[in-house]
Amino acid sequence: MKILFFGDIVGKISRSAISKVLPELKKKHQPDLILANAENLAHGKGVTEKTLQEMMEAGISAFTSGNHFYKKEDLSGKKFPLVRPANYPVGVPGREYLKIEITPRQARGKIKNVYIFNFMGRVFIREDFDCPFRKFDELYKLLKIKKNDILIIDFHAEATSEKNAFGFYADGRASVVLGTHTHIPTADEKILPNGTGYITDVGMVGPADSVLGVKKEIIIETFLTQMNKAHDIPEKGEVVVNAVLVNIDNKTGRCNDIKRVSKNILIK
């Protein structure tokens, strides 16, 4: 099974880039499932019904999120394929996981269970999230996930050490652990000893001439003055599209290959 996963999609300019580039990537890589982190869809912070619908029409099947998923609208009552970080405290709206049944091209008609988990890291972000390691154990046991099921994890975290540790912790149980949140792609994609694919950060779909997707002038001024200013996203220009293509063995649920996909798109 081939899975194409896009890093954090930042604002309207990046949604336009996805709509423009996805047909080409689908033709080239022929993924069975297309996923993306959506926590920055709506002008850089949060998700809305309209922006999710736009990306679904572009061809993305399901979405993970992060610490900004609740900033715009409460979509918990809507039937969108959107998962929130499962280690938010009990009672926070939203799905803790997604389960999708699909038939990969090379599975000879056999239906595969695909589980999608999302967790927040705690280092340098907020320490009042529940433990992502223990929450993973809880969900894995609750759902009775089998070794040959496909389990995709988006670990949304700041610290590379925490992401690395979680990757090894999930090794042999998850099919792939994909780091998000920093918007900067890392060059450490690999298959861990027990067959789990891993990358510390996928990167972003966002303006190239920016700081993590935000107009660079705003961020530079913040560093110079230590005064927070409202973030704004460029409306046109070059967009960097960061993603990973993961190939998972249908029989074992383990990762055969993981590689970075990167492309720049001009939005006028």
Q: Read off the CATH number of the domain in which 147 is found.
A: 3.60.21.10
For the segment 94-140, what is each residue's pLDDT rounded down to a tens digit?
Answer: 899 999 998 877 666 678 899 999 999 999 987 789 999 999 999 99
Cβ-contact 246, 29 below 8 angstroms: no
181 flagged as catalytic: no
Provide the domain limits for residue 225. Answer: 2-267
Indicate which residue of 29, 43, 68, 231 is catalytic: 68
| pTM for this predicted structure | 0.94
User: In what helix (H) or strand (E) does residue 12 lie, and over which residues does it extend?
Assistant: helix 11-29
Predicted local confidence at residue 221, as pLDDT: 92
Domain count, the chain: 1
d(CA 249, CA 147) in angstroms, rounded, equals: 11
For the segment 25-69, what is each residue's pLDDT rounded down to a tens digit?
Answer: 999 999 999 999 999 998 868 889 999 999 999 999 999 999 877
d(CA 36, CA 6) in angstroms, rounded, equals: 4
**Mean residue pLDDT across the chain:** 92
Compute the average pLDDT of residues 158-180.
98
